[in-house]
Amino acid sequence: MRICLAPDIDPCGTPDLNYCSPVSFCQPSVRLGFTCTCPHGYQDHSDDLDNAPGESCVRTSSRNCVTAQTSALKEQGLELSKILFIYLFIYYYLFICLFVCFFLSFFLSFFLYFLIY
């Protein structure tokens, strides 16, 4: 007698085999086959939260998150602008020093040449 077992089917791998919202996370489950969960920043507005969670994920108001991210980016921008300013200051300082050294050495050698000859 031959027994054929069906291959493991991943319901999360094919959107037609699960009810998950396009933004929700689908995780295979032994008991239910799969479970869907809404990601951070989304609320679950599914009709049946007990049996079909993650079917309808709605974006929550993220004004506080955006404000926090914006202020963090501004702080990083200020830090980067300080670093850029220091870098440019050092770069131009070295450039001026090299230019002055070259200028002085050229004229000093020119002066010495006429002094000797």
Are 79 and 45 in a shared domain? no
Question: What is residue 8's three-state secondary structure?
Answer: coil
pLDDT digits (tens, 9 = 90+) for 17-48: 888 888 888 888 776 678 888 888 888 888 88
- Among 41, 42, 44, smallest CA distance to 65 is for 41
Count the domains in the chain.
2
Within a domain: residue 2? Answer: no
Q: Mean pLDDT, to the nearest integer, of 59-78?
A: 62
Q: Could you tell me the residue range of the domain that residue 101 belongs to? A: 70-117
35-40 long-range CB contacts below 8 Å, 24 or more apart? none
Element spanning 88, H or E: helix 63-116
Q: Is the pTM of this model over 0.85?
A: no
Are 39 and 77 in a shared domain? no
